A and B are shown apart, each in its own frame.
Chain A
Amino acid sequence: MEQDNIRYLLGNHAIAQAIIDSAVDVVAGYPGTPSSEIIEHLGLLKPECHVEWSVNEKVALEVAIGSSWSGGRSVATMKHVGLNVASDPLMTLAYTGVKGGLIIISADDPGCHSSQNEQDNRRYAQFALIPCLDPATPQEAYDMVSFAFEFSEKFETPILLRPTTRICHGKSDIHLKEPTATTHEIQFEKRPDQWVMLPSRARVRHKLLIEKQTEIAKALELSPWNKLDIIEGAQLGIIASGVAFAYTKEAIEKLGVKASLLKISTYPPHVGLIKQMLDSVKQVLIIEEMEPIVEETVRSISGINIEIHGKDIIPRNGELDLTIVEAAIAKIAGLDHDPYIPEQTSIELPIRPPVMCPGCPHRATYIAMKKSFGKDAVFPGDIGCYTLGVQLGTMDTCLCMGASITTASGIYHAGETKPICCSIGDSTFLHTGIPGLLNAVYNKADITVAILDNRTTAMTGHQPNPSMGQNVLGDTTYAVSLEEMAKACGVEFVKTTDPFDIKKTIEIFKQAKEHKGVSVVISKQECIITARRRGQRLGLFAVDTDKCTGCKTCIKIGCPAIEFKESGTKGKSYINSFCVGCGVCAQVCPFEAIKEVSD
């Protein structure tokens, strides 16, 4: 029987539940896979604490810091690359320390399932000199939250909780604990020596931070998250960290290998347990995803009489799994290991990459953009659903949040003479696009900035943003105008268009291209997913096969609702049941062969 205290939960929902159970005061974050469901879930549960989608991760962390300095328990959530944006406050926060417990949740993405890189943020903890917890299972992520708050408060340090994709988007039976935390007094106390990082005070705090490290390391050694199992007479020792521990445990059992096993889930790594392990075996294998952080610690304290393996056989890139871990252990243990893997099929399977949805307004914007600027123009891009514009040839770069306008400026200033039109979404523009736009005007770049305003933060699951007039709880709030924002940055050419009106949008892009200096085109049309959820139903379209010449102009727009079927010498286009009635194909057809059907 599913009992009240055992629930089948997504890792991120379990973390959200633990946050509520810890009587938190403020939670702030910016959406990013695989972290988004933590705040999303809190928004639905409507707890008593303050929850917000902040405009970016730096803002989110600073909001959490303000709350912590006032005595509030606080959380900042983000994806791994979000911590790059928040790294400025992070590095000095380590010096100042905290008052109310402060957890920074960085959801890492080994394997780049939904990210532009796979950086290992345990390095940030090392860099900033703050402790880090690396859960091996969703249950452990849940259990670590209350521990992290208490630890953070006891040592007045922020703490990094670093679940990976397999924890955040893993689901399991979560055993919930009785909430014990109670609310606490909120009062901002003036502590100039601690909260005001003038150089003279920063020098003092840095020294204190370094001194505190020994105490923190000792306390982590007493924590329940690390575990050593010495097997009598075993020559091989295996040290595994985070989610890799789960694969390692299974591999040891399946292979039947006699090995001592050390689990490391806190950083800095537990030196005492590592020493005990090294003293009892002749050979050590360190299994960790991404960077050799535990391995570096092991090598720094080991003697010469022990054989150490790690990144020489475990990949430093990509995600680990049981197959990789089993092969590595078998190799070190000298076992014959030839697991059964079914033969791959000999027939060619069509690939299925993600695509823009039928009726996606970005497709329409890109058709118009390409028509006005020509395919040889330079199209710097940004991060969101519209990055899929790479399939339409209108996405020439994608680096990090907000980098479209800035790299476009750099391309212009370097002397590139082709027209430059960059794309950025509404939420990304508000995240880190504004400084780039201000800079482009200030330094006289001659570029066009297309703001693809689909009225939501779509890619991460349709979170609200400041231009929508709605917050995470669904409450009404001030809706910032993108037009006025662009004008305030000094842009003289600011025009808004509905991309579903292709002809008008082409005309506006042409004017923007001719404009000397920075021009901004706001291409505004609601995301088709949210529009349909709201109940929007438009008239559907069909191909008049008598008029269709099989020219494939409509096929080239890459809509999943349009099919090309060979028939005799010439093929023709057909519209399938995925059509949602955006009408873009009808506008691009040179033969007027696509028409709206009445019912």
Chain B
Amino acid sequence: MKEFDLIIVGVGGQGAITASDIIGKAAVRQGLPVQASETHGMAQRGGSVINHVRLDCKYGSLIPEGRADAILGLEPVEALRAIEFLSPDGVVVINTNPVLPISVLSGSSKYPEVETILTQLRSRCKQLVAIDAESLAIEAGHPLTSNVVMIGALSNYLPLDVRSFEESISKIVPPKTVAVNLSAFRLGRKQVE
């Protein structure tokens, strides 16, 4: 049994679709049936986005509340917003770098302290992996690879081989950026002991 239900959340433009593509393609490479669902259209204009990815799944693409095995949060507030999907045994892998919504930028609402978000998440999951993906992406060679850093960290929990991820990344990212993305993946993967 390799069933695994994953929620990927972030902000439109952060690369949530690329993240689910890399995972989905890696799963298909290993012969697993996959059902995924993506946010396209209007919400992509800087709004909250949520993707469902269900590995070894023979049903529909939507993960029910309380049953996701993991949440991949590309943004802290968005991870907490999606917490209702997580199972009590679930894992949360989050990027600790906030993207401030317009209401916060304009001073009309407040962005919670990242530490407060982490505490809230910790009390609702079995394991929390908090990563400064931006710094690691820069270390890997390009700030835009932070979503691949995040996949690297998450990969420790998914029922998929490293080779499948690496092949999938090589096929999906622009050819010139394969090397930097692969080092971003490996750097992310090392964040979990």
Chain A residues in the interface with B (C-beta under 8 A): 1-2, 6-8, 10, 33-34, 37, 113-114, 136-137, 166, 169-173, 243, 246-247, 249-250, 321-323, 326, 339-345, 347-357, 385, 388, 459-461, 552, 555-556, 558, 560, 562-564, 566, 571, 576
Nearest residue in B to A171 (C-beta to C-beta)? B36
Q: Can you list 13 contacts pairing A with B, beta carbon distance less than 8 Å?
A: A37-B40, A169-B38, A171-B38, A246-B59, A321-B64, A322-B64, A345-B80, A349-B112, A350-B111, A352-B11, A352-B101, A355-B46, A461-B40
Which residues 114-147 in B have Cβ within 8 Å of A in the complex?
116-117, 120, 124
Question: Within the assembled complex, what's the spacing in Å between the Cα atoms of A564 and B59?
Answer: 47
**When chains A and B are docked, how far (Å) is the Cα of A260 from the Cα of B97?**
50
Contact between B46 and A342 (Cβ–Cβ < 8 Å)? no
- Give the secondary structure class of B's interface: mixed
- A356 to B36: give the CA distance in the assembly, Å: 28
Within 8 Å CB of A10, what residues of B? Answer: 38
Contacting residues, chain B, for A173 (C-beta < 8 A): 27-28, 32-34
Q: Is the CB of B47 within 8 A of A355?
A: yes
A354 touching B46, Cβ below 8 Å: yes
Q: Does B25 contact A (CB under 8 A)?
A: yes
Contact A8 B66 (CB under 8 A): no
Q: Which residues of B contact A342 (CB under 8 A)?
A: 65-66, 83-84, 86, 88, 124
By the criterion CB–CB under 8 Å, are A354 and B43 in contact?
yes
Q: A166-B60, A354-B46 are in contact. Are A563 and B100 (CB under 8 A)?
A: yes
A34 & B28 in contact (Cβ 8 Å cutoff): no
Whole-angstrom CA separation of A169 from B44 in the bound complex? 13
- Cα A349 to Cα B38 in complex, Å, equals 23
Verify if B179 is at the interface (C-beta below 8 Å from A).
no
Complex CA distance for A356 and B60, rounded to whole angstroms? 33
Tell me if B102 and A172 are in contact (CB < 8 A).
no
Contact B47 A339 (CB under 8 A): no
Per-residue contact bits, chain B 24-63, to A (CB 8 Å; 1 contact, 0 not): 1101111111111111111111111000000000011111
Q: Of A7, A323, A326, A351, which contacts B28 at CB under 8 A?
A: A7
Give the residue among B45, B47, B87 with the most A Cβ atoms within 10 A: B45
Contact with A along B88-120 (1 / 0, CB 8 A): 100000000000111111110111100011001
**Contacting A355 at CB < 8 Å: which of B45, B65, B88?**
B45
Query: Measured between C-beta atoms, what is the minimum distance from A238 to chain B in Å?
Result: 15
Select which of A114, A250, A349 is within 8 A of B43 by beta carbon. Answer: A114
B74 at the interface (CB under 8 A from A): no
- Interface assignment of B81: CB less than 8 Å from any CB of chain A: yes
The docked-state distance in angstroms from the alpha carbon of A323 to that of B67 is 10
- Taking a contact as CB atoms under 8 Å apart, the answer to whether A250 and B61 are in contact is no
Residue B12, interface by CB 8 Å? yes
Tell me if A354 and B12 are in contact (CB < 8 A): yes
Give every chain A residue within 8 A of B28 (Cβ-Cβ): 2, 6-8, 173
How many angstroms between the C-alpha atoms of A385 and B12 in the bound complex?
A: 14
Cross-interface CB contact of B64 among A8, A323, A354, cutoff 8 Å:
A323
Question: Known pairs A2-B28, A349-B81, A388-B45. 16 more at Cβ < 8 A?
Answer: A8-B21, A37-B40, A113-B41, A169-B37, A170-B61, A171-B61, A247-B62, A341-B66, A344-B84, A349-B77, A352-B78, A354-B43, A459-B45, A562-B105, A563-B105, A564-B106
B45 touches A114 (CB 8 A): no
Measured in the bound complex, the distance between the Cα atoms of B87 and A340 in whole Å is 8
A172 with B36: CB separation less than 8 A: yes
**Closest residue of chain A to B164, judged by CB?**
A2
Q: Is the CB of B62 within 8 A of A166?
A: yes
Q: How far is the CA of A461 from the CA of B40 in the complex (A)?
A: 9
Say yes or no for B183: interface residue by CB 8 A criterion. Answer: no
In the complex, the answer to whether B42 meets A351 with C-beta atoms within 8 Å is: no
Contact of A114 among B42, B77, B83 (CB under 8 A): B42
Cα(A341)–Cα(B86), bound, Å: 8
Residues on B with beta carbons closer than 8 Å to the beta carbon of A461: 40
A1 & B62 in contact (Cβ 8 Å cutoff): no
Question: Which residues of chain B have C-beta atoms less than 8 A from A558's C-beta?
Answer: 102, 106
Tell me how far the C-beta of A352 lies from the nearest C-beta in chain B, rounded to whole angstroms. 4
Contact partner of B105 among A6, A137, A170, A560, CB < 8 A? Answer: A560
CB distance from A9 to the nearest CB of B (A): 9
